[in-house]
A and B are shown apart, each in its own frame.
Chain A
Amino acid sequence: MSAHSTTEVAGSRPALEIPDPSMAPRTARASTPALELCGLSKTFTLGAGLFKRGRTLGAVSDVSLRIPRGQVMGLVGESGCGKSTLAKMLLGLTTPSDGDVLVDGKPLRGANQKALARHIQPIFQDPYSSLNPRKRIAQIVGLPLQVHGIGTSRERAARVAETLDVVGLPRRAADQFPGQLSGGQRQRVAIARALIMRPDIVICDEPTSALDVSVQAQILNLLLDLKAEFGLTYLFISHDLAVVEHLVDRVAVMYLGRIVEEGTREQIFGSPRHPYTRALLDSALTPEPGLGVPDIGLGDAMPDPSDPPSGCAFHPRCPKAQALCRQTRPRLEDIQGDNARVACHFA
């Protein structure tokens, strides 16, 4: 399948290396972030017809993020704020309208998909949709090796078995179909598929939101263990703050396609600066009975992204909004001496 051929598959990591001029070698300096997003934007055109010009929708606008090697960056925000579009751009499923993604300091733009796949792998939200129902688990997990032409079929089978062990699946699962597995097991299969090529970066797009609460914790712990074992870097996308708090080193909060606040876990959860972050934290459900669903004080639903509010996009829902907020959009500014950023005039 692939032009690249690698003869040795068993065991060590370098066996899976493919020399590729478009991507950096893995021995990049520790100071280079594993993943860097520079002014990444994606706009869609809506309702364009033969004779009319459509409206543009900025799904992701000017997002810049640095994810250091071995860290977990959480990306939180409401549904529809552009999280998944961002993930798709990182995975090479859609091309950015503007900006660039640097993987190990090398631009993603123009890199071939197979080379990219060696570095970045996804874990999707819905384990019921992410596994082809007509394929056996061994085929699903082994697909990356097969597509990339790694190893003989015997070596691939050994590798699949080994990876199933790593994610805590019984080996007999290899011969089963996805329909015979539970939601948690399916998500383990998805994780195995993502990890079999030993990527550096894993994009987790709400990997636990389709699972039972009891299973969520198992999957999260597995993700943490695997990170330690393989030195992975995660971009962890979620709308569930409790999940994020459990897992991440840093958090970026997204609203209407833009990052509004970014900082360490302690900063975001301990002393949030942006009113939206505060509202999100207040919205987290408390375990005490009788309190009901908290009023998050945000009022209406999110505004129409194809017709965003003027100035600060959050101002119609912001308790602190003033005239300035309606006119000027606050820039995402570094907070001095704090290694954090926030986009608010009054933070």
Chain B
Amino acid sequence: MTTSNVSPTVSSASPSGTALGEIPLPAPAWSRVTRRLFGHRGLAIGLIVVGLAVLIAIFAPLLAPHDPYHQDIANRMVPPVWHAEGSWEHVLGTDKLGRDTLSRLLFGTRISLTIGLVVALISGVIGTTLGVLAGYFGGRVDAVISYIITTRLAMPVVLVALALASLTGGSLTTVILLLGLLLWDRFAVVSRSVTQQMRDAEYVYAARTLGCSLPYILLREVLPNIAGSLIVVMTLEMAHAILLEATLSFLGMGVQPPLPSWGLMVAEGKAYMFFQPWVIAIPGIALFVLVLAINLLGDGLRDLNAPGGRN
């Protein structure tokens, strides 16, 4: 879809150059995979940033210089290190309760990635099930499921999530459940249309002729062929869910204090944004970079998955 990946200089000019060098290339098949992944500039950037985020989330306790929950009233609103009054003690400064911003940011990666991943899994299961059934059976099943999809599409996600969160009270679990139950629409739409094309494939007929069970046909014949499209949707929905969590937390209906959610950090800092702008700029930038990287990853995967994008 993009034309950037046809340029022969891309692989050498791309920031993946170092990463490519680090990866051992034992087998030609593996090198083909890496070349495919890193030959696409956007995909390479996305992959590296998301990979870093995952590593940070896993090793947050080792990386964080302070306890993200430790309050130090004597050191409130310390500016970041590049500021005249900043210190290396708190590299990214502290918030209004004296908690270390860098530590909270690192631990916040866990919350964002967990939400993105679990929400994408829940909504993926719901949406794919509905979409595959609608696409495979067509007729009345399709009519009913299409109606459900349309109903869902007609609902504004943020408003519905806000309303429900205010009823149930916000927490990490409710945010994950709410978003998981709301964000399945794209999975359903995509899997439905791809399955429709597959329903009349002769290999599906061949399996039916053999007397294969319906679950076998759907899981083993249809699903592997739509998995590529679904992985792309999954990355995009992860980014979507991370942003929505930040939105809900910012509005006070999402993750509750003192958890170090990036959206919550922005919300807590909004009173200081004119005089200590870094308090909201730092978590805001982190959010922006992660969501951008996941979107780049998704776009890149879509390009690779597109017909003709394989070679």
Is there an interface contact between A117 and B225, defined as CB atoms closer than 8 Å?
Answer: no
The smallest beta-carbon distance between B106 and chain A, in angstroms, is 39
Is there an interface contact between A130 and B206, defined as CB atoms closer than 8 Å?
Answer: yes
Would you list which residues of chain B between 200 and 243 have a CB under 8 Å from chain A? 201-203, 205-213, 216, 221, 224-225
Residue-wise interface mask of A (87-111) relative to B, using a CB-CB cutoff of 8 A (1 in contact, 0 not): 0100111000000000000000000
Give the total number of A-B pairs whose CB atoms are below 8 A apart: 61
Among A92, A116, A134, which residue has its beta carbon within 8 angstroms of that of B224? A134
Residue of A nearest to B225 (CB): A134
Is there an interface contact between B209 and A93, defined as CB atoms closer than 8 Å?
Answer: yes
Is there an interface contact between B211 and A130, defined as CB atoms closer than 8 Å?
Answer: no
Interface with B: A121-129, A222-230, A303-311, which one? Answer: A121-129
Is there an interface contact between A144 and B210, defined as CB atoms closer than 8 Å?
Answer: yes
Residue of B nearest to A190 (CB): B206
Q: Would you call A132 an interface residue if the criterion is a C-beta within 8 Å of the partner chain's C-beta atoms? A: yes
Among B203, B209, B213, B216, which residue has its beta carbon within 8 angstroms of that of A91? B209
The smallest beta-carbon distance between A135 and chain B, in angstroms, is 8
Residues of B within 8 A of A132 (CB): 203, 221, 224-225
Interface size on B, residues (CB 8 A): 16
The smallest beta-carbon distance between B305 and chain A, in angstroms, is 13
Residues of B within 8 A of A147 (CB): 207, 210-212, 216
With A132-B221, A133-B225, A147-B216 as given contacts, are A92 and B209 in contact (CB-CB < 8 Å)? yes
Residues of B within 8 A of A93 (CB): 205, 208-209
With A134-B224, A134-B225, A147-B216 as given contacts, are A116 and B203 in contact (CB-CB < 8 Å)? no
Q: Would you call A113 an interface residue if the criterion is a C-beta within 8 Å of the partner chain's C-beta atoms? A: yes
Among A117, A126, A133, which residue has its beta carbon within 8 angstroms of that of B209? A117
* Complex Cα–Cα for A305 and B208 (A): 27
Residue of A nearest to B227 (CB): A134
Is there an interface contact between A112 and B211, defined as CB atoms closer than 8 Å?
Answer: yes
The CB with the most chain A CB atoms within 10 A, among B202, B207, B210, is that of: B210
* Complex Cα–Cα for A122 and B211 (A): 13
Residue of B nearest to A127 (CB): B202
Is there an interface contact between B211 and A117, defined as CB atoms closer than 8 Å?
Answer: yes
Is there an interface contact between B206 and A122, defined as CB atoms closer than 8 Å?
Answer: yes
Residues of A within 8 A of B216 (CB): 147
* Complex Cα–Cα for A126 and B202 (A): 8
* Complex Cα–Cα for A135 and B206 (A): 14
The smallest beta-carbon distance between A287 and chain B, in angstroms, is 31
Is there an interface contact between B211 and A129, defined as CB atoms closer than 8 Å?
Answer: no
* Complex Cα–Cα for A130 and B202 (A): 4
Q: Would you call A345 an interface residue if the criterion is a C-beta within 8 Å of the partner chain's C-beta atoms? A: no
The smallest beta-carbon distance between A271 and chain B, in angstroms, is 37
Residues of B within 8 A of A241 (CB): none
Is there an interface contact between A129 and B209, defined as CB atoms closer than 8 Å?
Answer: no
Interface size on A, residues (CB 8 A): 30
Residue-wise interface mask of B (176-218) relative to A, using a CB-CB cutoff of 8 A (1 in contact, 0 not): 0000000000000000000000000111011111111100100
With A132-B225, A133-B225, A134-B225 as given contacts, are A121 and B209 in contact (CB-CB < 8 Å)? yes
The smallest beta-carbon distance between A16 and chain B, in angstroms, is 14
Q: Would you call A332 an interface residue if the criterion is a C-beta within 8 Å of the partner chain's C-beta atoms? A: no
Residues of B within 8 A of A326 (CB): none
* Complex Cα–Cα for A88 and B205 (A): 9
* Complex Cα–Cα for A160 and B170 (A): 58
Residue of B nearest to A133 (CB): B225
Residues of A within 8 A of B213 (CB): 1
Q: Would you call A38 an interface residue if the criterion is a C-beta within 8 Å of the partner chain's C-beta atoms? A: no
Residue-wise interface mask of A (211-223) relative to B, using a CB-CB cutoff of 8 A (1 in contact, 0 not): 0000000000000
* Complex Cα–Cα for A117 and B203 (A): 15
* Complex Cα–Cα for A112 and B221 (A): 21
Q: Would you call A193 an interface residue if the criterion is a C-beta within 8 Å of the partner chain's C-beta atoms? A: yes
Q: Would you call A237 an interface residue if the criterion is a C-beta within 8 Å of the partner chain's C-beta atoms? A: no
Q: Would you call A278 an interface residue if the criterion is a C-beta within 8 Å of the partner chain's C-beta atoms? A: no
Is there an interface contact between B202 and A129, defined as CB atoms closer than 8 Å?
Answer: yes
Q: Would you call A114 an interface residue if the criterion is a C-beta within 8 Å of the partner chain's C-beta atoms? A: yes
The CB with the most chain B CB atoms within 10 A, among A88, A120, A121, A143, is that of: A143
The smallest beta-carbon distance between A259 and chain B, in angstroms, is 24
* Complex Cα–Cα for A23 and B205 (A): 22
Is there an interface contact between A143 and B208, defined as CB atoms closer than 8 Å?
Answer: no
Residues of B within 8 A of A148 (CB): 210-211
Is there an interface contact between A124 and B211, defined as CB atoms closer than 8 Å?
Answer: no
Is there an interface contact between B211 and A116, defined as CB atoms closer than 8 Å?
Answer: yes
Residues of B within 8 A of A126 (CB): 202
* Complex Cα–Cα for A114 and B209 (A): 8
Residues of B within 8 A of A143 (CB): 207, 210, 212
Residues of A within 8 A of B209 (CB): 91-93, 113, 117, 120-122
Residues of B within 8 A of A193 (CB): 206
Q: Would you call A63 an interface residue if the criterion is a C-beta within 8 Å of the partner chain's C-beta atoms? A: no
Q: Would you call A37 an interface residue if the criterion is a C-beta within 8 Å of the partner chain's C-beta atoms? A: no
* Complex Cα–Cα for A71 and B87 (A): 92
Residues of A within 8 A of B203 (CB): 129-132, 140
Residue of B nearest to A144 (CB): B210
Residues of A within 8 A of B208 (CB): 92-93, 113
Is there an interface contact between A114 and B211, defined as CB atoms closer than 8 Å?
Answer: yes
The smallest beta-carbon distance between A77 and chain B, in angstroms, is 20
Q: List 14 A-B contacts (CB under 8 A).
A: A1-B213, A114-B211, A117-B209, A117-B211, A129-B203, A130-B202, A130-B206, A134-B224, A134-B225, A140-B203, A143-B207, A147-B212, A147-B216, A148-B210
Listed in ascending order, the chain B residues whose CB lies under 8 Å from chain A are 201-203, 205-213, 216, 221, 224-225
Give 6 closest A-B pairs by Cβ, nearest first.
A114-B211, A130-B202, A113-B211, A124-B202, A134-B224, A132-B203
For the A-B complex with A116-B211, A120-B209, A129-B203 known, give 6 more contacts whose Cβ atoms are closer than 8 Å: A114-B210, A126-B202, A130-B203, A130-B205, A147-B211, A190-B206
